Amino acid sequence: MKKMILIFMFMVSALFAKVDFQTATKEQLMAINGIGAKKAEAIIDYRKSNKIEKVEDLTKIKGFGNTLVNKIKKSNM
């Protein structure tokens, strides 16, 4: 039950605030349209050795093309 409440809170917060890709949790990343569990993990792995300063930096991660990044950009405004 607590986990469901936390997920709901993250989803609601994603609707009203931009996500900081450098610090976001897996659940916060998954709340973004187009990002599932695998892509969220890829972001978390990438940022261990790289800095994500803007949404466009996601194109440096395998599986993130321009189309997906543009979709994420629009939903994260």
pLDDT tens digit sequence for 8-65: 555 555 454 688 999 999 999 999 999 999 999 999 999 999 999 999 999 999 999 9
> How many Cα atoms are found within 13 Å in the side-chain-facing hemisphere of 16?
5
**In which band, very low, low, confident or very high, does the pLDDT at 66 lie, cut at 50, 70 and 90?**
very high
The domain that holds 69 is classified in CATH as 1.10.150
Burial classification of residue 39, based on how many CB atoms lie within 10 Å of its CB (0-12 exposed, 13-18 middle, 19 or more buried):
buried
Q: List Cβ neighbours of 40 (8 Å cut-off, separation of 6 or more).
A: 26, 29, 30
pLDDT attached to residue 14: 47
**In which band, very low, low, confident or very high, does the pLDDT at 75 lie, cut at 50, 70 and 90?**
confident
Q: List Cβ neighbours of 42 (8 Å cut-off, separation of 6 or more).
A: 61, 62, 63, 64
Domain count, the chain: 1
State which residues form the domain around 51.
2-75
**In which band, very low, low, confident or very high, does the pLDDT at 1 lie, cut at 50, 70 and 90?**
confident
pLDDT attached to residue 8: 59
Q: What is the pTM of this model?
A: 0.76
- The kind and range of the H/E element at 42 are helix 37-47
